[in-house]
Amino acid sequence: MAIIRIGDNNWREFLPENGILERTVLYGSPEARALGMVPIEDTLDVLIPWDDMKERIDEANRKRQMPVHYLEAANHAPHNQGGTNYCWAYGITLCLEALRLMENQPYRRLGPASLGWLVDWRNRGHYLSSAIKGMWERGVASAEFCEDGTTDRETFKAGWEDDALNHKLHEWTDTDSSDDEHMAQQCASLLVAGLPLYEAFNWWKHALARVGVVWDEKERYNLRWIDWNSHGDGRIEMTGSRGIPDEAYAPRVSTVSL
Amino acid sequence: MRRLTFSLMLVLGMIGGLATAADAPGVVSTTVPPAAVPPAADLAAMAVIDGPTESVAGQLVVFDAASSTGTGYDWLVSADVNTDGLWQVFEDGRYLAFASPIPGKYRIVLSVAVEGQSNVVELTFQNGEPGPPPDPPPFPPGQKWQVVIVYESAQLDNYSPEQQSIIKSLTFREQVTAAGHKILSGGIIDQGAPSRTGEPPKSLAPYLAAAKSKSLPRLCISAMTGGTVQTFPLMADEAAVLNFLNGVK
């Protein structure tokens, strides 16, 4: 199956979804910090200089040190949110699934629908910041407890809430989206450092996970992004101005559950 | 700073042999200013500093004022950090020994005098970032290891690209496994990663404990049969780690 690529030439073909509410918690604010979203300048502030970007990205792909390499090596099947507006849950869950592999934890398929409590089990979009808080508080259950594409917790297997405590994300790096080029540099630097990105696009009203980047001199900033979508497609690619997320958060530590 | 204290005898020995730290690899040396010896009749004070203009933090360097014309050597070392205890003069002030663990620019100032006239010269010295620690001695070939790498995820950007690759590269993990070693489950771990109880995960706790309070990133190993956990500063690149685990010199 051909990989979907979304760029400035075709983005209008992708209709806005109802998966996210635009960010209201300001970058670097006390509220953001209280949610565990640490500004990038506090932690991973040493960005890859643009002059070195090609070499570093090529090297990271050659050594397979980005989340996409782990997902593909694990034959991670795409999630499918179906008719739900839970992309905010699927995006953050994919980040956790990838981070676990990069921490050398055993592969574990998780059930994003178990985060539905955050919207009171209604079929609603949500804030990424609230999803980050909810993931930290209660975690996400294994897929064996809850299938994709539902908002009905009655279909979940007993014990899902306890199982979810094994799968949390604890530490995050927040990015500064005030400038597109700077945002691209931050995203590429974090991916090369081996961190997934939980991201959202306001034009698309959609959240997903960014898991890789390729140096491509035909594209804006010479970057072609690899994202993991939740419509049964898994890997897609994004380019151009529409490929720069409006918010992106890099989870750095997950619960160790072996 | 510690190097300064234990190196007094070394300094004196170096001075005696007219060798300076400029002879060491990675040290750039210069003479400030270029030699311009005045006629004897017009003998005037002239301060001259022979010594390196850059080195690496923690390395001992010596500045030499012996080419100066004059007496009464007065030295001053200044920087953005407190330089107390980082330097000392010897041989009636003709030599200054300096060592600092703090990278940055340091100003080395020398003043000499002849019959009430003084001359001052200044040298700017760049104390660079220390290089990676030397690799530990190899183990006997054939030994297989359980491997854990402990790091701080909030410091990933401060690790070299090669060390980031050791931590994150899937290809490297496959090479370690192919060599017969075992990276433990969950064994690429942030120092603060909790289990669901909030405590360190049991199977990794001995490795985290061994790495606690030590510099990160850190390679932790134990024999396949268990036993004592040994920890080492993470080597410079993937090849160095593999060579170390495989006992290759």
A61-115 pLDDT, tens digit each: 999 999 999 999 999 999 999 999 999 999 999 999 999 999 999 999 999 999 9
CA distance B173 to chain A (A): 9
Rounded CA gap, B232 and B234, in Å?
Answer: 6
Give chain B's largest Cα–Cα span.
84
Q: Which two tokens stand for residue B246?
A: 């495989």
* Angstrom distances, CA of residue B217 to CA of A38, B87, B158: 21, 31, 10
Rounded CA gap, B10 and A1, in Å?
Answer: 69
- The pLDDT assigned to B42 comes to 57
Q: Measure CB to CB from residue B196 to each of A69, A165, A192 and give the nearest one.
A: A165
The full DSSP string for B47-115 is --EEEEEEEETT--EEEE-TT-BSEEEEEEEEESS--TTSEEEEGGGTEEEE--SS-EEEEEEEEEEET
Q: Which two tokens stand for residue A180?
A: 């597109």
Interface contact A194-B168, CB threshold 8 A: yes
Axis crossing angle, helix B161-168 with helix A50-62, rounded to the nearest 10: 30
Q: Above 80 in pLDDT, residue A3? A: yes
Q: What is the mean pLDDT of residues A154-160?
A: 98
Q: Where do the CATH 3.40.30 domains begin and end in chain B?
A: 145-245
Rounded CA gap, B7 and B11, in Å?
Answer: 6
Q: Above 60 in pLDDT, residue A245? A: yes
A51 membership: H or E segment, kind and range:
helix A50-62
Taking CA–CA distances from A73, the nearest residue in chain B reads B170
A178-218 pLDDT tens trace: 999 999 999 999 999 999 999 999 999 999 999 999 999 99
Q: Above 70 in pLDDT, residue A33? A: yes
Residues of A in contact with B187 (CB under 8 A): 104
Interface contact B158-A73, CB threshold 8 A: no
Mutation target for B interface from A37, A62, A101, A258: give the one with most B CBs within 10 A.
A258
Q: Where do the CATH 2.60.40 domains begin and end in chain B?
A: 54-127
Please list, in sequence order, all residues whose beta carbon lies within 8 angstroms of the beta carbon of residue A244, skipping any fewer than 6 positions away: A177, A180, A183, A184, A187
- The pLDDT assigned to B136 comes to 66
Q: Above 90 in pLDDT, residue A137? A: yes
- The pLDDT assigned to B9 comes to 43
Residues of A in contact with B167 (CB under 8 A): 194
Interface contact B193-A46, CB threshold 8 A: no
- The pLDDT assigned to B141 comes to 76
What is the ipTM metric for this complex? 0.96
Tell me the whole-structure pTM to 2 decimals. 0.75
Q: Which of residues 5-44 of A touch B (CB under 8 A)?
A: 38, 43-44
Percent of chain A exceeding pLDDT 70 equals 100
Interface contact A166-B196, CB threshold 8 A: yes
Taking CA–CA distances from B171, the nearest residue in chain A reads A63
- The pLDDT assigned to B44 comes to 84
- The pLDDT assigned to B72 comes to 83
Interface contact B153-A59, CB threshold 8 A: no
- The pLDDT assigned to B78 comes to 92
* Angstrom distances, CA of residue B132 to CA of B67, B217, B241: 36, 11, 13
- The pLDDT assigned to B135 comes to 62
Supply angle C-alpha B89, B93, B98, rounded to 5.
25
Rounded CA gap, B118 and B107, in Å?
Answer: 19
pLDDT, chain A, mean = 97
Residues of B in contact with A60 (CB under 8 A): 165, 168
Q: Measure CB to CB from residue A104 to each of B157, B185, B200 and give the nearest one.
A: B185
Would you write out chain B's pLDDT as a tens digit for each of its 249 residues?
333 333 444 444 443 333 343 344 444 554 444 434 444 445 788 999 999 999 888 889 999 998 998 878 999 999 988 888 899 999 888 999 999 888 889 999 999 988 888 899 999 999 988 776 666 666 777 899 999 999 999 999 999 999 999 999 999 999 999 999 999 999 999 999 999 999 999 999 999 999 998 999 999 999 999 889 999 999 999 999 999 999 876
Rounded CA gap, B60 and B4, in Å?
Answer: 7
- The pLDDT assigned to A36 comes to 87
- Pairing relation of β-strands B87-90 and B49-56? unpaired
CATH architecture of B145-245: 3-Layer(aba) Sandwich (3.40)
Assigned CATH for B54-127: 2.60.40
Interface contact A256-B193, CB threshold 8 A: yes
